[in-house]
Structure 1
Amino acid sequence: MHYWRRLHKDLFKACLYHRKTEYQRFGNSISYYDQQNILPDFKECWPEYKELGAQALQATVKRVDYAFQRFFRGWGGYPKFKSARHDRGWTYPGISGWKAQTTGDNGYLELSNLGQIQMRGKARTWGTPTTCTIIWKPGKWYASITVNCEPKRETSTGAIGLDFGTHHAIACSDGTIIAPPKFLAKTQQKIEQLSKRLRRKRAPNFKKKIKASKRWRKARKQISRLHLAIDLVKLYRYKKSSII
């Protein structure tokens, strides 16, 4: 899966370089459809891309087009080349190339030319799967699946107000107070300590062809996992409010 993630990253960089050089050298603007029509010839030159699926490759090319659209509309900066650790994964925009063998509670995810992968997790409401995004976060793989469904939520005749504060995670209008998790402050202290250790270790330098030391890679992985833990804790308020 890491190999596939790098292939999609290289395709993203190739499309970005193609657009950049065509405009700088010849003044030509390349559209999404221009690059999409090149994909068959691209796969003939690099056969390893045939296993990834046509729709997944088209979705990666679409990401490049979307990045340029955001830039031209003033919503973001100029698209940049991404390293392998900053490229999260790839997307299946349709039902081709993957299949979710689950009813919303655990199950298996089947990817074409890759095999079955066991899934853990439970969806609030399950339905007919439509798209799937494979995401890599420090130490774990995630599958973000969108479904067509008819959500059934418990309703009541009353109403309640929620206040997201700093001293309390959630304060309800009926007087209920939900305390914030204390994990966040402790984790930030650990990140500061590990960041100091990271600066003392040999970092990679691609221009000088210097590889990172094993201790530097180990410390960076620890920091990445802590950042992931903080992201999960930040969702605490929204999970609690959805339950209320």
Structure 2
Amino acid sequence: MRIAYQYRLKPTKYQAAKIDNWLSMLCAQYNYLLSDRFNWYEQNRCFINACPLVCHLPDLRNNPDYYSQKKTLPNLKKTHPWYKDIHSQVLQDVVKRVKLAFDRFIKGDSNGKRSGRPRFKKPHRYRTFTYPQMKEGCLEVNLVNLPKLGKIKVILHRPIPDGFKIKTASITKRCDGYYLVLSLEDKTVPKVKPDINPDAIVGIDVGLKEFLTTSEGETINIPQYYRKSQKRLKVIQKRVSRRKKGSNNRLKAIKQLGKQHKQVADKRKDFHFKTANYLLSKYDVVAHETLNIKGLAKSRLAKSVLDAGWASFLTILTSKAENAGLLAVPVSAQNTSQNCSNCGKKVPKKLHVRWHDCPYCGCSLDRDHNAAINIRNRAAGQSVLKAQRLLRDARIGWEAYADPLGSA
């Protein structure tokens, strides 16, 4: 199992200046490696039989892949000696980031979906660097030992679980300070608990009137953190626009605006985590719709959809369920609001109609409650089969985890 813990860093002035200097140099190296990829792409993407009859054919060059670009790093430290201050693995991670960004543009991800053309990073847009490997004992009581940065004070607001090993460490600069993100791994913990109850299933229907409605009829109000802070954001945004570009006062106003946006995002994220924990504490299986949230974010409901943060919530719910050994089951969203949860007949209704009245069986209940029941019914069959299959595979793992030395 792989989880990530985030902690607040308290570096000294010297350490903070060194981190900022690293980010600046890593940003320049990222842009250089990306431009090298683009130069190769522009020279080699056109076939010879597709060129005009009279043209200049440049000499074909080898593809600057991950390994060839990583071999240029020793020479970089000779021509630019100041790069010797950066840890070698941190520099190698920049090459990996360039590879991932360019591969998503050329080949696509695991599903074959391609991303847009990677953009060159501005200094204020490059905010994170990563140590791909960390030594054991790097984290002490309230200090973390990072190579070539030294021991930095860290606020350990929660301990690392027993048996988990620190795999990577990332330093992120944000508007309100520096953060440490630790990636932890424990291969002995299986994915699903052996005592999971597939019958303890609930369906949830996310919405804009209520954040979600369960198949039991329970509703959770939508907080609307962004809309409540719009007045304050408008004042700060005006303050930014009235400052002279490049001035210190404008930079201060931009920092203040960033803190306000981060406050809204942190409140929303905290609400999502608490809601996910509440659902998983009551039910073993949570069913939800597979929504086209990107498409909804381009509609006239964009501000409300983004303020609710459905994508973030469903991601958190799935991750928390996996870490707890429970199930989060996605189902098709087709006609969940139109079909009657009692008789299954289709009862067409427009979006502004918030109550479901079935003329066939007389079922009458809230539209979102009806949709949540349909979601639960769709997930009931596949969740039981999935749980039984995962239980069979995980039973041996849990026995070994609970008694690693065996019954003897």
TM band (smaller chain): 0.7 to 0.9
- 1:218 aligns with 252
TM-score, with length taken from structure 2: 0.51
Gaps of 5+ in 1: 204-211
1:99 to 138, 159, 162: 138
- 1:142 aligns with 179
Q: Aligned partners of 1:152, 1:16: CA distance in 2, in Å?
A: 38
Root-mean-square deviation over aligned CA pairs: 2.9
- 1:118 aligns with 153
1:18 to 36, 39, 54: 36
Residues 140-168 of structure 1, C-alpha deviation per residue, up to 9 Å, x if partnerless? Answer: 21222111123899976433333333233
CA separation of 1:97/1:53 partners in 2, compared to 1, >3 Å: closer, same or farther?
Answer: farther
Q: CA deviation at 1:125?
A: 4.5
Aligned pairs (5 A) from 1:88-237: 88-95=127-134, 99-101=138-140, 107-120=142-155, 121-122=157-158, 125=161, 127-149=164-186, 150=189, 157=197, 158-181=200-223, 183-203=225-245, 212-235=246-269, 236-237=271-272
Q: Which region of structure 1 is more displaced relative to structure 2, 109-118 or 177-186?
A: 177-186
Q: Aligned partners of 2:160, 2:208: CA distance in 1, in Å?
A: 28
* SS, match of residue 122 in structure 1: coil
Tell which has more relative contact order, 1 or 2 (C-alpha 8 A, sep 6+): 2
Aligned pairs (5 A) from 1:38-53: 38-53=72-87
- Is contact 2:89–2:132 with CA below 8 Å preserved after alignment? yes
Residues 70-110 of structure 1, C-alpha deviation per residue, up to 9 Å, x if partnerless? Answer: 111352222222111111111112226993336xxxx3221
- Is contact 2:225–2:268 with CA below 8 Å preserved after alignment? no
Q: Percent identity of the aligned residues? A: 27
Q: CA deviation at 1:124?
A: 7.9
CA separation of 1:97/1:124 partners in 2, compared to 1, >3 Å: closer, same or farther?
Answer: closer
CA separation of 1:97/1:194 partners in 2, compared to 1, >3 Å: closer, same or farther?
Answer: farther
Aligned length: 232
- Is contact 1:125–1:151 with CA below 8 Å preserved after alignment? no
- 2:98 aligns with 64
CA separation of 1:132/1:78 partners in 2, compared to 1, >3 Å: closer, same or farther?
Answer: same
CA separation of 1:194/1:214 partners in 2, compared to 1, >3 Å: closer, same or farther?
Answer: same
CA separation of 1:118/1:161 partners in 2, compared to 1, >3 Å: closer, same or farther?
Answer: farther
Bigger Rg, which one: 2
Matched, 1:7 2:25: yes
